[in-house]
């Protein structure tokens, strides 16, 4: 069940109606927990047991951490939690990747090994809920979060359906306090939430799914296309992935808000970033801040000699890339972003106080950043390294490729969408709605929703981040 | 254990304040306004928007609407009609008997019940004044769609309530009575699907989603863009209307290879050896009844046609109700051996150009015979 399907609308209406008709907070939470498991079971009910198992382990670890004050015991229990969570993630997501990579490496060394990969189905959203879950035990271990005694509360935090399958990654310290008291409907910004949902829906169903066939066509056979088409294909993919992922996030945040819960913001117009470091403060914020707080800082962060810091950045970005998917293309994507971050740091250090550099960067920073991000997207989207190489040659060197071309008018689509995006960043679309009387707003919203549906493709394309 | 120890620790009920009640009430009113505006806009757009641009269907429908009073006979169905009935030959045979006739082939590849019933309704909505006979291909009501076409506009446009409800009844096994009484096993398959029940669940979800999307005019925006960009929507018409502009496009005359012919002969022998015939479901009968009613509504006569095929059923062996109209069946290889020679066939369902022409002649002669005998008025 996806946010852009009609059945989600029916599901949510039932959840919403029953939820607000209940007066007891405990009953509401149990209802949300039940619905969240139903939501997850719509993909594959068998994996609800995995979700439940992960919750149980972290609940027990949380209780044990609360009980034991000795450092050695606490350390043991946190290792149990991290190993259990990463073990599940490793088995379902990375087992085949590591086995086939090791086999390939041994073959390259002249030691062919016969290994067998497993026929494993990747549970949807496993990377997200594992991170939700780990944030709880790590924060309890660090003493930032009290271990909770109510199992249902922890289960609801981990399985809460809006961010369950594609984020944003929610931390225990931001979500669990919201479960303490009953949410009040009067405090819900319904207008803001439904507008955010519609905005997310337009991004996903109209824009991302609209440009997807063109990007797919190019990335399927890049060698057949001209370098100009490579630019169109890559830029269309940059639009697709942003609209797809931020569209999902908007709908998730809006759904949670309608139920009275606040989720962290995940995007702040990332393509307006002035450098790669800025990009990561705007793109998938919940992941980048999670990696910063639970990986980068624990391994040293900005402390120590410069090369030590650079090593930490590279480790974080490589693992961030691997988090997205079990393939070398994702690892390279992470590495490219790591390198870009290092280059930016070095550039900032070397040109610190130089007037000409500041002036030049005022004009060049944005195009360079977008270009670097797009180059990295090539590896993120390419089916394999060989095709990524072909695309890179076309996109960077304007060489290679065939005679097939994507139509020139698509460049105007890119410009038009960029302009709309800029207007949106100025709140040009959302602001006027705020001032209308509620009945006028409701009628206009209904009409707009009906008009938006005209431009939705007939078939539904799964969210890109579902595969992670 | 004393009972009082089992008492649940629950929060005391918090009485709803009047402000909360007012907020909820206002939210309900505004939601109703929003939903009402949405529904009215969808209905309004549905009424205003043109027939969607569906390859083959739109071109033929536009052509027919422009020449609707020129035709007195219509053939409607799948590729077994589209590629196998030549209106020119049919009209020629009838004319030889002294009756003037002009027919149109509205066959579309892959168009079965209930899509064909929907298209027929659109054709009849153009109010053709001279239409006297409508031949509808009789085949089982289809609930499944090829996977690659499942997300297309072709799978979407015909999902109105009449068609979808019939499909859902079939999927749920609930019969065709006024009151829906779904088969409980099927309901369980939808709610708690097992491996064997996955198809029921998938079909139910698929058709419900298509109905909702069709109601909400999903994906019709491209038609609006076509209208404003003045794109030539008739440029492919010739491809679907055929050389004579009568809707017939002949298949190739290149028949089967030797191995294909041997496999076909083997399959045919098996079919002829079997005595049992597939029966038509009550849902198909209901679709036939609805079509017949519409056709009779404009003063024409419905004729149900079973094309020469080895995989179809034979209504003459049916023990359940017969379709509401004359049935012309050509699916018995014993009666029409010439139409089952491997030399005139492309596969078990389709004829070559030569076979199609022969079939059209036989069908026209049978039709004339039925008219003269007074069985078709």
Beta bridge mates, A225: A404
Backbone angles phi, psi at B345, to 5 degrees: -120, 145
Range of weakest confidence among A121-135, A288-302, A307-321, B223-237: B223-237
Tell me which residue of A115, A206, A95 sits closest to A454, measured CA to CA: A206
Take residue A44 and report the two structure tokens written for it: 């594959």
Give the mutation candidate from A260, A453, A455, A457 for the B interface (greatest B CB count, under 10 A): A453
Tell me which residue of B267, B234, B309 sits closest to B84, measured CA to CA: B309
Placement of tokens 């849902």 in the chain: B283
Is the confidence at residue B126, as pLDDT, over 80? yes
The three-state secondary structure class of B303 is strand
| B2 confidence band (pLDDT: 50, 70, 90) | very low
The per-residue DSSP string of A33-68 comes to HHHHHHHHHHHHGGGHHHHHHHHHHHHHHHHHHHH-
Distance of alpha carbon B51 from alpha carbon B54, whole angstroms: 9
Range of weakest confidence among A72-81, A251-260, A417-426, B248-257: B248-257
Q: How far, rounded to the nearest angstrom, does the alpha carbon of residue B295 sit from its chain's CA centroid?
A: 15
Backbone angles phi, psi at A225, to 5 degrees: -105, 160
Take residue A180 and report the two structure tokens written for it: 């303490």
pLDDT at B16: 56
Is the confidence at residue B72, as pLDDT, over 80? yes
Task: Name the closest residue on chain A to residue B209, using Cα atoms.
Answer: A6
Placement of tokens 């502009």 in the chain: B245
How far away is chain B from the Cα of A180, in angstroms, using its nearest Cα?
12
* Residues in CB range of B153: below 8 A, 6 or more apart: A458, B52, B53, B54, B219
Interface residue A460 vs chain B (CB under 8 A): yes
Which residue among A324, A337, A344, A407 is the active-site one?
Answer: A324
Mean pLDDT of chain A: 89
pLDDT at A227: 87
How far away is chain B from the Cα of A7, in angstroms, using its nearest Cα?
7
How far away is chain B from the Cα of A328, in angstroms, using its nearest Cα?
30
**Number of Cβ pairs closer than 8 Å across A and B?**
100
How far away is chain B from the Cα of A26, in angstroms, using its nearest Cα?
8
Distance of alpha carbon B320 from alpha carbon B257, whole angstroms: 39
Please list every residue in chain A whose beta carbon sits closer than 8 Å to the beta carbon of residue B10.
Answer: 24, 26
* Residues in CB range of B141: below 8 A, 6 or more apart: B112, B113, B114, B166, B167, B170, B281, B283, B284, B287
| B147 confidence band (pLDDT: 50, 70, 90) | low
pLDDT at A56: 94
Task: Name the closest residue on chain B to residue A45, using Cα atoms.
Answer: B192
How far away is chain A from the Cα of B227, in angstroms, using its nearest Cα?
14
Interface residue A454 vs chain B (CB under 8 A): yes
Take residue A154 and report the two structure tokens written for it: 């922890």
pLDDT at B347: 85
Please list every residue in chain A whose beta carbon sits closer than 8 Å to the beta carbon of residue B13.
Answer: 23-24
A391, A392, B55 from A397: Cα distances, Å: 10, 7, 41
The per-residue DSSP string of B324-355 comes to SSEEEE---TTT-GGGG-GGGBSSSS-B-HHH
Q: Indicate the pairing of strand B133-137 with strand B326-329.
A: unpaired
pLDDT at B71: 92
How far away is chain B from the Cα of A464, in angstroms, using its nearest Cα?
18
Question: By percentage, how much of chain B surpasses pLDDT 70?
Answer: 86
Task: Name the closest residue on chain B to residue A6, using Cα atoms.
Answer: B209
The per-residue DSSP string of A63-96 comes to HHHHH--SHHHHHHHHHHHHHHHHHHHIIIIIHH
Please list every residue in chain B whose beta carbon sits closer than 8 Å to the beta carbon of residue A23.
Answer: 13-14, 16
pLDDT at B316: 53
ipTM beyond cut 0.85: no
User: Which strands make up the sheet holding B73-77, listed edge to edge?
Assistant: B103-107, B73-77, B133-137, B301-306, B326-329
Q: Which of A234-248, A402-416, B17-31, B334-348 has the highest mean pLDDT?
A: A234-248
Please list every residue in chain B whose beta carbon sits closer than 8 Å to the beta carbon of residue A452.
Answer: none
Q: Which of A17-26, B262-271, B331-340 has the highest mean pLDDT?
A: A17-26
Question: By percentage, how much of chain B surpasses pLDDT 90?
Answer: 35
| A465 confidence band (pLDDT: 50, 70, 90) | confident
| B7 confidence band (pLDDT: 50, 70, 90) | very low
pLDDT at B103: 93
Placement of tokens 């606490």 in the chain: A74
Task: Name the closest residue on chain A to residue B35, using Cα atoms.
Answer: A446
Distance of alpha carbon A38 from alpha carbon A44, whole angstroms: 10
Take residue B289 and report the two structure tokens written for it: 């009844």
**Whether A344 is catalytic:** no
| A254 confidence band (pLDDT: 50, 70, 90) | very high
Q: What secondary structure letter does DSSP report for B136?
A: E
Task: Name the closest residue on chain B to residue A447, using Cα atoms.
Answer: B38
B35 versus B179: the higher-pLDDT residue is: B35
Cβ(B99)–Cβ(B364) below 8 Å: no
Interface residue A456 vs chain B (CB under 8 A): yes
Please list every residue in chain A whose beta carbon sits closer than 8 Å to the beta carbon of residue B152.
Answer: 458-459
Is the confidence at residue B3, as pLDDT, over 50? no
Q: Cis ω on the peptide bond leading into residue A121 (within 30° of 0)? A: no
Using CA of residue A65, residue A71, residue A73, residue A74, what is the dihedral sign?
A: positive
Contact A441 B30 (CB under 8 A): yes
Closest CB to B219 among A20, A441, A458: A458
Contact B220 A454 (CB under 8 A): yes
165-184 of A, contacting B, C-beta below 8 A: 182, 184
Read off the pLDDT of residues B273-321 as tens digits, 9 standing for 90 and up. 776 666 788 888 889 999 999 999 999 999 999 898 876 555 554 555 6
Take residue A219 and report the two structure tokens written for it: 């990335």
Closest CB to B33 among A442, A453, A454: A442
Task: Name the closest residue on chain A to residue B52, using Cα atoms.
Answer: A454
pLDDT at A169: 92
User: What's the pTM?
Assistant: 0.84
């Amino acid at each position: 069940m996806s946010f852009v399907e009609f059945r989600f609308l029916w599901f949510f209406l039932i959840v919403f109606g029953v939820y607000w008709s209940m007066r007891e907070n405990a009953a509401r939470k149990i209802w949300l927990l039940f619905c969240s498991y139903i939501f997850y079971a719509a993909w594959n009910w068998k994996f609800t047991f995995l979700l439940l198992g992960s919750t149980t382990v972290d609940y027990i670890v949380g209780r044990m951490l609360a009980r034991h004050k000795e450092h050695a015991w606490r350390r043991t229990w946190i290792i149990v939690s991290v190993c259990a969570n990463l073990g599940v993630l490793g088995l379902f997501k990375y087992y085949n990747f590591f086995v086939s990579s090791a086999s390939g490496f041994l073959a390259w060394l002249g030691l062919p090994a016969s290994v067998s990969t497993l026929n494993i189905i990747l549970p949807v959203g496993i990377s997200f809920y594992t991170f939700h879950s780990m944030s709880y035990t790590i924060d309890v271990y660090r003493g930032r979060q009290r271990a909770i005694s109510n199992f249902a509360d922890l289960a609801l935090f981990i399985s809460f359906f809006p961010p369950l399958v594609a984020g944003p990654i929610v931390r225990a310290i931001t979500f669990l306090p919201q479960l303490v008291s009953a949410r009040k409907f009067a405090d819900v910004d319904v207008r803001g939430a439904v507008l955010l949902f519609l905005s997310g829906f337009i991004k996903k169903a109209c824009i991302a799914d609209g440009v997807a066939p063109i990007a797919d066509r190019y990335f399927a056979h890049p060698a057949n296309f001209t370098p100009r088409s490579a630019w169109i294909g890559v830029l269309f993919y940059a639009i697709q992935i942003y609209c797809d992922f931020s569209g999902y996030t908007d709908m998730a945040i809006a759904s949670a808000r309608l139920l009275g819960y606040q989720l962290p913001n995940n995007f702040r117009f990332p393509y307006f970033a002035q450098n790669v470091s800025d990009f990561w403060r705007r793109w998938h914020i919940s992941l980048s801040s999670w990696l910063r707080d639970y990986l980068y800082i624990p391994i040293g962060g900005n402390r120590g000699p410069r090369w030590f810091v650079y090593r930490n950045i590279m480790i974080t970005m490589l693992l961030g890339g691997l988090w997205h998917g079990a393939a070398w293309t994702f690892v390279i994507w992470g590495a490219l972003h790591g390198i870009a971050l290092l280059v930016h740091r070095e550039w900032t250090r070397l040109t610190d106080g130089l007037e000409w550099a500041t002036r030049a960067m005022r004009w060049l920073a944005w195009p360079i950043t977008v270009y670097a991000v797009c180059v990295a997207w090539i590896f993120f989207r390419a089916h394999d390294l060989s095709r990524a190489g072909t695309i890179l040659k076309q996109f960077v060197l304007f060489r290679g490729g065939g005679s097939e071309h994507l139509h020139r008018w698509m460049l105007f689509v890119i410009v038009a969408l960029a302009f709309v995006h800029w207007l949106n960043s100025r709140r040009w679309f959302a602001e006027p709605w705020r001032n209308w009387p509620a009945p006028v707003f409701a009628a206009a919203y209904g009409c707009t929703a009906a008009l938006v549906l005209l431009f939705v493709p007939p078939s539904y394309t799964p969210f890109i981040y579902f595969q992670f | 254990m004393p009972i009082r120890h089992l008492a649940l620790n629950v929060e005391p009920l918090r009485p709803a304040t009047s402000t909360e009640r007012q907020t909820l009430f206002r939210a309900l009113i505004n939601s109703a306004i929003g939903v009402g505006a949405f529904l009215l806009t969808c209905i309004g757009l549905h009424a205003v928007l043109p027939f969607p641009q569906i390859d083959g269907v739109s071109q033929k429908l536009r052509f027919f609407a422009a020449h609707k009073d020129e035709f007195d006979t219509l053939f409607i169905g799948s590729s077994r009609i589209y590629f196998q009935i030549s209106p020119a030959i049919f009209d020629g045979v009838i004319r030889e008997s002294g009756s003037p006739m002009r027919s149109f082939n509205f066959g579309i590849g892959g168009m079965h019940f209930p899509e064909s019933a929907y298209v027929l309704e659109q054709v009849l909505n153009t109010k053709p004044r001279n239409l006297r006979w409508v031949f509808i291909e009789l085949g089982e009501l289809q609930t499944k769609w090829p996977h690659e076409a499942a997300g297309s506009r072709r799978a979407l446009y015909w999902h109105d309530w009449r068609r979808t409800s019939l499909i859902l009844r079939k999927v749920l096994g609930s019969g065709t009575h006024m009151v829906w009484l779904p088969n409980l096993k099927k309901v369980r398959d939808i709610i708690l699907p097992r491996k064997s029940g996955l198809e029921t669940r998938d079909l139910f979800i698929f058709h419900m989603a298509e109905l909702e999307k069709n109601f909400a005019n999903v994906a019709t925006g491209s038609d609006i863009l076509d209208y404003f960009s003045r794109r030539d929507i008739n440029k492919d018409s010739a491809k679907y209307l055929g050389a004579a502009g009568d809707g017939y496009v002949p298949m190739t005359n290149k028949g089967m290879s030797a191995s294909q012919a041997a496999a076909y002969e083997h399959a045919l022998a098996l079919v002829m050896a079997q005595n049992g015939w597939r029966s038509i479901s009550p849902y198909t009968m209901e679709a036939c009844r609805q079509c017949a009613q519409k056709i009779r509504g404009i003063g024409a006569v419905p004729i149900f046609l079973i094309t020469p095929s080895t995989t179809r059923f034979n209504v003459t062996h049916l023990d359940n109700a017969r379709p509401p109209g004359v049935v012309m069946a050509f699916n018995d290889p014993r009666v029409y051996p010439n139409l089952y020679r491997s030399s005139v066939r492309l596969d078990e369902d389709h004829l070559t150009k030569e076979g199609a022409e022969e079939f059209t002649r036989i069908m026209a002669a049978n039709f004339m015979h039925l008219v003269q005998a007074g069985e078709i008025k």
